[in-house]
Amino acid sequence: MIGFGQAGGKIVDKFLEYDRRTGSEIVRAAVAVNTAKADLMGLEQIPQEQRVLIGQSRVKGHGVGADNELGAEVAEEDIGEVQGAIDGIPVHEVDAFLIVAGLGGGTGSGGAPVLAKYLKRIYTEPVYGLGILPGSDEGGIYTLNAARSFQTLVNEVDNLLVFDNDAWRQTGESVQSGYDEINEEIVKRFGILFGAGEVRQGQEVAESVVDSSEIINTLSGGGVSTVGYARETVERKGKSGGLLSKLTGSDESIEDQLDSANTTNRITSLVRKAALGRLTLPCEIDGTERALLVMAGPSAYLNRKGIERGRKWLEEQTGSMEVRGGDYPINNSDFVASAILLSGVTNVPRIKELQQVAIEAQDNINEIREESEANLQNLVEDDEDELESLF
Ligand SMILES: Nc1nc2c(ncn2[C@@H]2O[C@H](COP(=O)(O)OP(=O)(O)OP(=O)(O)O)[C@@H](O)[C@H]2O)c(=O)[nH]1
């Protein structure tokens, strides 16, 4: 995982914290890249030697100030420094690269596409992007940056997973505490998804468990992806319950059957909630090219029938013939969760809106620039042109 810019670094840092907390082992190695020294210093989990400061000769460690063209230039000039950090990673052990960046700023917005292009040229592993769209209240320049970076990045990565800050903005909160909550949400959703592909030591391997190749196949073919998520708290079933039910005989087996119907219903309802609830990038799910359904939770609460029904329902809703599904047993958890990766979404009004606002911002910026040149000339030069500059 490579966090580019401030948002990217903070989110990768959170993924590492999630890994440590849950033992998910999603992140084989983490790197943070930035033009701002202070941002790198603020990270907690990413090892010091994996924090790369680029563009020192140009911006002296102070960031590129939302200039994403400069962000791209600096990334290109100093790509060797990033490679230096990647050299310390056993790349043959990773399933894929994930570049995380806020698309509205300068460093991540400009740098992420440059890095994606570079990694694709050097390595055979897939290169994915996790791009964060700015809130619509952030202003024209952020929207313009995001629209341009989005367009560039989609073409450089094997798939662009998108999270839209605007859809997750909470009113009445400070920006920082708002981001903390949003970042939790990002890590929770993508954590379940990526965690599903990791088989941990001592974990029982269910028949229909999701494998990393299924995630890769769902993402292959490229385009833009979004993730849905829903969860429900459940009581943890003790092992003794299983033993008791065997001892007490027929009554219990009826209860078991009821349980199985409940389990199936719970799963199908969680699949609906995840697909029809708030997605990381809100869009119409009809027309999605490929999808992956992951059901996570204690294995007693996961069953094949539920997942199969959920998968069928997703096929109907998306019209896709390529819907994969499987489970992710987490036996010490007290919830059942459904995470749905919708890959190759095309009906996304939010992106069209972003582009529209970006074009307006671009026109305005150009207009103001032209006007201001004329205005400055008017101010500096005397009306009759009687004064002469010194040289
Ligand atoms: N979800 C989330 N989004 C963030 C966070 N911080 C910033 N953003 C978003 O990311 C965009 C880019 O901001 P930064 O990552 O700070 O910018 P940068 O890439 O470091 O670039 P410069 O600061 O311009 O050098 C912002 O417009 C926000 O939309 C965060 O912690 N979480």
- Out of 4, 62, 130, 132, give the residue to mutate to test ligand 1, the one with the largest number of ligand atoms within 8 Å of its CB: 132
31 φ/ψ sector (left φ>0, alpha ψ -120 to 50, else beta) = beta
Residue 247 predicted with pLDDT over 70: no
The answer on 236 and 148 residing in a single domain is no
State how far the alpha carbon of 37 is from the alpha carbons of 5, 51, 65, in Å.
11, 10, 13
67 and 9 share one domain? yes
9 is in an annotated binding site: yes
Does 12 fall in a domain? yes
Same domain, yes or no: 153 and 107? yes
The answer, yes or no, to whether residue 377 has pLDDT greater than 70, is: yes
What are the pLDDT digits (tens) for 176-193? Answer: 778 999 999 999 999 999
In the numeric block, the tokens 């680029």 are attached to 54
C-alpha pair distances (Å), 291 with each of 159, 185, 243: 13, 20, 38
- Highest-scoring range by mean pLDDT, 26-40, 228-242, 364-378: 26-40
Residue 331: per-residue pLDDT: 85
Domain contains 391: no
Is the shortest distance between the CB of 13 and ligand 1 below 6 Å? no
Alpha-carbon gap, residue 54 to 117, rounded angstroms: 17
For residue 253, the model assigns a pLDDT of 52
68-123: per-residue pLDDT in tens? 999 999 999 999 999 999 999 999 999 999 999 999 999 999 999 999 999 999 99
303 and 233 in a single domain? The answer is: yes
Q: Specify whether 8 is located in the same domain as 152.
A: yes
Question: Would 40 be classed as within a structural domain?
Answer: yes
Residue located nearest, by CA, to atom 6 of ligand 1: 7
Domain identity same for 171 and 280: no
Asked if residue 159 and residue 64 are part of one domain, the reply reads yes
Does 263 share its domain with 338?
A: yes
Instruction: Report the pLDDT averaged over residues 10-27.
Output: 95
In this structure, is residue 350 part of a structural domain?
A: no
Please give the share of the chain, as a percent, with pLDDT higher than 90.
81
Task: Based on the fold, state whether residues 332 and 241 are members of the same structural domain.
Answer: yes
Residue with tokens 């911006």: 59
| Interface ipTM > 0.90 | yes
Contact of 143 with 354, CB cutoff 8 Å: yes
Does ligand 1 come within 6 angstroms of the Cβ of 179? yes
Decide if 168 is inside a domain: yes
Could you tell me if 126 and 7 lie in one domain? yes
Query: Does the pLDDT of residue 231 top 60, yes or no?
Result: yes
* Residue 331 and residue 358 in contact, taking contact as beta carbons nearer than 8 Å: no
- State the pLDDT confidence band at 240, using cuts at 50, 70 and 90: very low
For tokens 């219990």, the residue is 252
Average pLDDT, the chain: 91
164 lines ligand 1 (CB under 6 A): no
68 and 32 together in one domain: yes
> How many domains would you assign to the chain?
2
Residues 18 and 97 in one domain: yes
Residue 172 has pLDDT above 60, yes or no: yes
**Identity (one letter) of the amino acid at 6?**
Q
CATH code, 294: 3.30.1330.20
pLDDT, residue 75, reads 98
- Which of 293, 119, 100 lies closest to 215 in space, CA to CA? 293
Residue type, 373: E
- Which residue owns the Cα nearest ligand 1 atom 10? 102
CATH number at residue 139: 3.40.50.1440
pLDDT of 211 > 70? The answer is yes
Model pLDDT, residue 316:
98
Determine, yes or no, domain membership for 36. yes
Does pLDDT of 199 surpass 50? yes
For residue 197, the model assigns a pLDDT of 76
Nearest CA owner, ligand 1 atom 8: 7
Pick from 325, 121, 309, 319: nearest CA to 218: 325
Last residue of one domain, picked from the residues 325, 343, 361: 343
List the domain range (segments joined by +) for residue 174: 2-195
Whether residue 106 is annotated as binding a ligand: the answer is yes
- For the record, the structure tokens of 380 come out as 């500096």
208 assigned to some structural domain: no
**Residue 176: its pLDDT value, please?**
74
pLDDT tens digits, one per residue of 291-314:
999 999 998 999 999 999 999 999
